Structure 1
C-alpha cells in the first residue's frame, strides 16, 4: 500500500511564510492520484477552498469576477488575504496562515483529509476470503512453516505478507489466544479513546440488537489492537473470551499473528480472514472481518471495528457490514471534530479581537490547532519554532483528556501563558498567548 502523501506546502506555513503559486503547483503534483486534487474529489462534493488560520474562516476558491473556480486560484481572494502581486496586478502569494484545501458541507478539509476521504477501495475479490480454500491453506501453512516458501497465486497478498511478518518476528505459531492487558491499562486506553468510544456507541448499540443469537461478536479496538468494547450474545461472548477476543484482549498482529484486527491496522485497509488464513493455530477456528477507523483530523488510524465468529458461521457479507460500520463511526467522529473546531472559533473570538498585538494560538480539547493569528506566526518564525501552521497540527501535551491540568509541557510551551477557552461555562480548548521577545 502506498504511503499517505504529506502536505507539500506545510513548510511554507511554518514561521509565518506565505502561500505561493508554486506551493499550489507542488501540492497538485504531489497529491495527484490520491484524491487530494479537485478533479479527483469533486464528484464527492469537495470544492477547492482556503482556510484562514487567523479567523478560522473558509474561503471558497474563486475567479477574479467572483465566480466559483474548479481549482485553487489566489486571484479571487479578498485583498486583505493577498501578500504580493506581480507587475500585472495578479496575486502571486497569499499572506501567512492561508492553507489550501477543500470545503464540503460547510466544513474545511486539508488535502490530506480530502485524500483520506476519497481513498479508493481495493477490488472486493482481493478482500474476501474463500472458505473452499480452508483445507488447502492448512497444507500451505504447514509447508510455509517448514521451508518459508509460498506457492504463487494461492494465498491472497494481504495474508501472505502478514504470514511473512509474523514468522520473521519469531512469533510462536502454536499460540492459543491473544495476550490480555490488566484492568488499569484497559481503563487508561478507554479514557484515551473517549471520542472513538462515543462515536461508536450508536453502531455498537445497533450491533447489540442485530447480533442477538447471531453467533458473532462485534468488537472495537484502539490503534494498537487492544479491544475497548465488545458486543455479542452471551454464548458467543464466552467462546470469544477463551481466546481473549473481548475487552482487554491485545490483537496487534505481532502479538497474536495474522488476524483481521491487527492485520487491518498493519495494512491500513479492510481485511477478511477465514480459518486457516490466521497465522496461529489456536485462532484458526475463527473467521473475522475488520476495517480501520481513521481520524478526520489527520487521517491517522484510531482503531478498528471487527465482526468475528467460529468458522462454521462464515458470513459473506460480514466485510461489507464492518466497512459500513467503520464509515458510520468516522462520520460521527467528523461531526464531533468539526463541532469542536467551531466551539473553539466562537469561544476565542473575543480574545482574537481584543488582543491583536499578542501572538495567539487556539487549540481544541484534543490539542488540535484551530486558529493562529498573524502575530503568532511572526513570533514563532523569529523563535525558529518547529510548530507547523496548518489545521492538521496537533500538540499532544494540550490534549485535555490525557493531560487535564496541562502538566509536564514541552520546553517550547513553558515561556508562554496558557488559559482555557470557554463556551457556555465549559472548557472547549486552550489559548496559548505567546511571550513577547525581550
Structure 2
C-alpha cells in the first residue's frame, strides 16, 4: 500500500507552537483550512468536530474486565501472530521509555508492554490495556487516526485533539487481514513527547507487515487443512451451491453455482473469495453467531468441517433445482437414496435385500400409520433420518412438513431457541417480530429429533411439557401456542443406561418411545453391501456424466470384507471419493483408503505398495506415479507432494499438464 512522501507522515518538533496556535483558532474560529498543520491532522480534527468530541476530555474510556477478556479471546489469532513482532519492538525500544501496544480494529488496547514509569504515566489517561483510543471518543491520536485514515500515522504533542493527551507522541500502523484485506487491528508505539523519533513510524510499519506475513502463513496452513478436509463436498455436491468458509467466517472457496442459487432463493448469497458470511465467525460467542446470521441462511445448510485439532470452518451447502422446495435439507444422508424410488412405496429409497433389513422395513410400515411417537435406535450412519422421512411419508401427516433438528449440534441456550422459538426482544440481537421454533414449524407434520440422547438434562422437562400438553411458549413470551406434531426421535445411545446414570429422564423416555425401531448396522447385513455399491456406481455415473466404473476383484473383495464402523454413510463417502479420483474405467487397489486396505489385508500395513514399473515413455511413468500418490493420499495434495518428494506448487503444475495431455486413445487424460 503506498503511503505517500515521508515528510507528510512525520511531524516536526519546530512546528509544535505553530500547531498549538492553529488548534486554538480551529476550536474557536472554525476556519476552512489551518496553515502549518499537516493534512492528516487537520482531517482528523474535522472528524473530531463532526463527532462533537470534547477537547477537554481527560482520559480514554475503558472496556470492563469481562469485555476485555472477550475481545482478547476473539482476537487470539491476531495476538499470537503479533507476539514475535512485539517482542522485537520491545528489544529495540528497551531503553527508550515508550509503550508498545496492540489494539483491535475498534482501537481497544489488547496488549501493552513497556517501561514501568511510562506505563504509570499512561494509566492517568487510560493509555493502558482495555483503554479505547478510537477518534470518536478521545479525538486525534495515532491509534484512532490510523483506524480512521486506514493508513500509518504519527501524531505528536499539540497535534492531539484532547488537551490531556498533548504531552504524548505516538506512531501507529494498521494491520490488515492478508486474505480479506479488512482491518484487523493496529500496532502502536507511544511515549511522552520528548521521546519523539522519526524512525518510530518506520518501526510500526515494519511490525505491522511482519504481523500480516505471520497471519498469512497461519491462514495458508489452515486453509490447506480446511480444503483437504472439504474437497469431497465439492465433488459430492457438484449440482448444489457449495461455499467453504474458514473459522473466521471468510469465504475460502465456492463452486460455480452462485447465480443459480441466487435465482432459486432470491437471497444475497455470498460470492467473492475473502468476503465474510455473517454469523459464521467461530471466534465470536455462539449466541452472537446465532444472532448475526441473516434470515435467509438456514441452519440445515451449515455443516462443520473438523479434523483432530477441532473445527476448521464451515461448509455451506445450498440445494438447487428440485431441492429448492424441501423443508429440510441434510448434507450427509445416513443411507443411500436412489435417483428414482417407487412412488407407491415410501420405503423404496432404502437400499438392500437382506432378511434383517426386510424385517425392519416391514415393522416400520406397520408403525407408520399409527401416529405414535417413534424412537429410532441405531449406530451413526445406519440410516436413521432416511427411515424417519419414510415413516413421515407413510404416515397420516404426509401432507404436513417434515422438520429435522439435531439436538447435539447446539448449546442449551441455542437449542431452546431452535425448538421453542423466541419473542421480539427476548434477548440482545433477537430478530424483530421474534421467530417460531421447530415445534411451530412442524405443526401438522413431523418433528424429527436427531441425537435426542444429547439433550441437556435441564432442558428435558421443557420438552416433556410440550409433548404432554401440546402447547409451546416462545422464549421471552407468555402466549401459549397449541401445536399438533408427531415426534420421531433417534439416538445411538443406550437410553436405559443413561436413565440409570441420571443423564436422561425416564418419563421423557417413555413419552418418546411409544414404539421403538432398531435399525441394523451394515455389518449385520453384509449381503446388502454389493447391492449398495452397484447402486452408488450407477448414481455417480449419472452425476458425473460418465459410464459406471468397473471394480477390480481385490477392491470389491476389500469393500465386501470391511466392517464399516461408519455404516452406509462411510461406504457412500469412501466409494464416491474413489469414483471421483479414478481416471480410468476401473477402480483399482491403489484408490482404496489405507484403513480399509490394511483392515482387509494386514500384509499391506507392513510396507507401502511399491509403484509398479510402467513400460513406455518417462512421462507416462511420471503420470502414473503422480496419480497413484494422489489416490493413496485421498486427494490430499500436500501429502501426495511429500510422498513424491516435490513441492505442492510443482505437483499442481504437473497435474495441470497431465490433464491437458491427450491419452493414448485420443481422449483426455483426466475425466
Paired with 2:71 and 2:277, the residues of 1 have a C-alpha distance of 19
Show the 5 A alignment for 1:7-406.
119-149=1-31, 152-375=34-257, 378-404=260-286
Report which stretch shifted further, 334-343 or 171-180: 334-343
Match for residue 407 of structure 1? 290
Larger Rg: 1 or 2?
2
2:318 is the counterpart of 1:431: no
| Corresponding residue SS for 1:218 | strand
Q: Calculate the aligned-residue CA RMSD, in Å.
A: 2.0
1:392 CA drift (Å) = 2.1
Give yes or no for contact 2:22–2:34 (8 Å, CA) kept in 1. Answer: no
Match for residue 419 of structure 1? 303
Higher relative contact order (CA 8 A, sep 6+): 1
Paired with 2:309 and 2:59, the residues of 1 have a C-alpha distance of 48
Paired with 1:151 and 1:371, the residues of 2 have a C-alpha distance of 48
Q: Which runs of 5+ in 2 are unaligned?
A: 326-671
Q: 1:139 to 1:187 in 2, by over 3 A?
A: same
Per-residue deviation, residues 372-428 of structure 1 (Å, max 9, x unmatched): 234565334321221232212211311111145863443222263322112345321
Give yes or no for contact 2:245–2:252 (8 Å, CA) kept in 1. Answer: yes
1:143 CA drift (Å) = 2.2
Paired with 1:307 and 1:383, the residues of 2 have a C-alpha distance of 49
Q: 1:210 to 1:349 in 2, by over 3 A?
A: same
| Corresponding residue SS for 1:433 | strand
Q: Which TM-score applies when normalising by structure 1?
A: 0.69
| Corresponding residue SS for 1:346 | helix
Paired with 2:130 and 2:246, the residues of 1 have a C-alpha distance of 29
Q: 1:425 to 1:237 in 2, by over 3 A?
A: closer
1:123 CA drift (Å) = 0.7
Q: 1:320 to 1:375 in 2, by over 3 A?
A: closer
Paired with 1:418 and 1:350, the residues of 2 have a C-alpha distance of 16
Paired with 1:326 and 1:187, the residues of 2 have a C-alpha distance of 23
Q: Which has the higher strand share?
A: 1
Give yes or no for contact 2:261–2:269 (8 Å, CA) kept in 1. Answer: no
Report which stretch shifted further, 373-382 or 182-191: 373-382
Per-residue deviation, residues 23-77 of structure 1 (Å, max 9, x unmatched): xxxxxxxxxxxxxxxxxxxxxxxxxxxxxxxxxxxxxxxxxxxxxxxxxxxxxxx
Give yes or no for contact 1:397–1:403 (8 Å, CA) kept in 2. Answer: no
Give yes or no for contact 2:55–2:163 (8 Å, CA) kept in 1. Answer: yes
Q: Which has the higher helix share?
A: 2
Paired with 2:232 and 2:297, the residues of 1 have a C-alpha distance of 23
Match for residue 80 of structure 1? none
Q: Which TM-score applies when normalising by structure 2?
A: 0.46
Paired with 2:158 and 2:125, the residues of 1 have a C-alpha distance of 16
Give yes or no for contact 1:211–1:233 (8 Å, CA) kept in 2. Answer: no
Q: 1:161 to 1:379 in 2, by over 3 A?
A: closer
Give yes or no for contact 2:26–2:34 (8 Å, CA) kept in 1. Answer: no
| Corresponding residue SS for 1:352 | helix
Match for residue 517 of structure 2? none
| Corresponding residue SS for 2:290 | coil
Report which stretch shifted further, 281-290 or 167-176: 167-176
Paired with 1:425 and 1:167, the residues of 2 have a C-alpha distance of 49
Q: 1:383 to 1:327 in 2, by over 3 A?
A: same
Paired with 2:273 and 2:256, the residues of 1 have a C-alpha distance of 15
Give yes or no for contact 1:416–1:434 (8 Å, CA) kept in 2. Answer: no
| Corresponding residue SS for 1:407 | helix
Q: Which runs of 5+ in 1 are unaligned?
A: 1-118
Q: 1:177 to 1:383 in 2, by over 3 A?
A: same
Per-residue deviation, residues 100-153 of structure 1 (Å, max 9, x unmatched): xxxxxxxxxxxxxxxxxxx21211010000011112222222222221227654
Q: 1:169 to 1:367 in 2, by over 3 A?
A: closer
Match for residue 388 of structure 2? none
Paired with 1:360 and 1:168, the residues of 2 have a C-alpha distance of 44
Give yes or no for contact 1:416–1:432 (8 Å, CA) kept in 2. Answer: no
Paired with 1:359 and 1:141, the residues of 2 have a C-alpha distance of 56
Per-residue deviation, residues 165-201 of structure 1 (Å, max 9, x unmatched): 2123222211222111211221222122222112111
Q: 1:136 to 1:387 in 2, by over 3 A?
A: same
